[in-house]
Amino acid sequence: MATKTPLTGVNTFESTLGGLTVRGRAHSLSAWFVLALRLMMGFAFLNAGLSKLLGPEPFSAYGYLAFAVPENGGPAVGAFLWMANSAAFMAFVDVAVPFGQIAIGLGLIVGAFVRLAAFFGASMMGMFYLANWDVAHGLINGDFAYLLVFLAVAAFGAGRILGLDRYIENYEVDGEPLVEKYPLLDYVLG
């Protein structure tokens, strides 16, 4: 299979942070890999949310937060125990986790509001990273790796690759593309 070499300036990216500039040039197949990452995380989160929602027993995070997290011994055990012992917070978590995972999964699969979905997915993976605290093989585990995948999906605007964000951004309002009329939408679309 042959790939077409892009025009000069196409598939290049650059960012400056704290005075340090990094530059890169993506391979022409990169879009397919970014799409694969988006779909992989979308199906994983949709499956996780549906299994919690449709499981034989109602989903409850209490047992995990109250017993498994302290056994893991991470740096945020006190916060997770507070969560477990707050009836109001548990009522929220027991609904937010499965429905959040379903919403994140669907957003990623159809490519709509991908940056927003990736932000919440990365936030959830950050919480899982602290809760699952298994650093026997170093500080990098699967939860941390998935957090970085979510950030990459957001950074590369994966919703524009065979996704609805491409069309949502260009939807015209008063003769102007939506994302140009409301530039802050660039933080949730793409």
Mean pLDDT for the stretch of residues 161-169:
94
Contact by Cβ (8 Å): 99, 48: no
Residue recorded with tokens 């704290």: 18
Per-residue pLDDT band for 62 (boundaries 50, 70, 90) equals very high
Measure the CA–CA gap between 190 and 183, rounded to whole angstroms.
Answer: 12
DSSP designation for 65: I
What are the residue boundaries of the structural domains of the chain, listed by start? 29-163
Tokens of 130: 């602290």
Using the predicted structure, report yes or no on whether residue 53 has a pLDDT greater than 90. yes
Using the predicted structure, report yes or no on whether residue 17 has a pLDDT greater than 60. yes
When the pLDDT of each residue in the chain is averaged and rounded to a whole number, the result is 91
DSSP designation for 66: I
Per-residue pLDDT band for 113 (boundaries 50, 70, 90) equals very high
Query: pLDDT digit string (tens) for 80-102?
Result: 999 999 999 999 999 999 999 99
Using the predicted structure, report yes or no on whether residue 32 has a pLDDT greater than 90. yes
Mean pLDDT for the stretch of residues 23-50:
94
* Neighbouring C-beta atoms of residue 41, cutoff 10 Å: 25
Mean pLDDT for the stretch of residues 93-121:
97
Mean pLDDT for the stretch of residues 62-67:
93
For residue 173, what is the enclosing H or E element?
A: strand 172-173
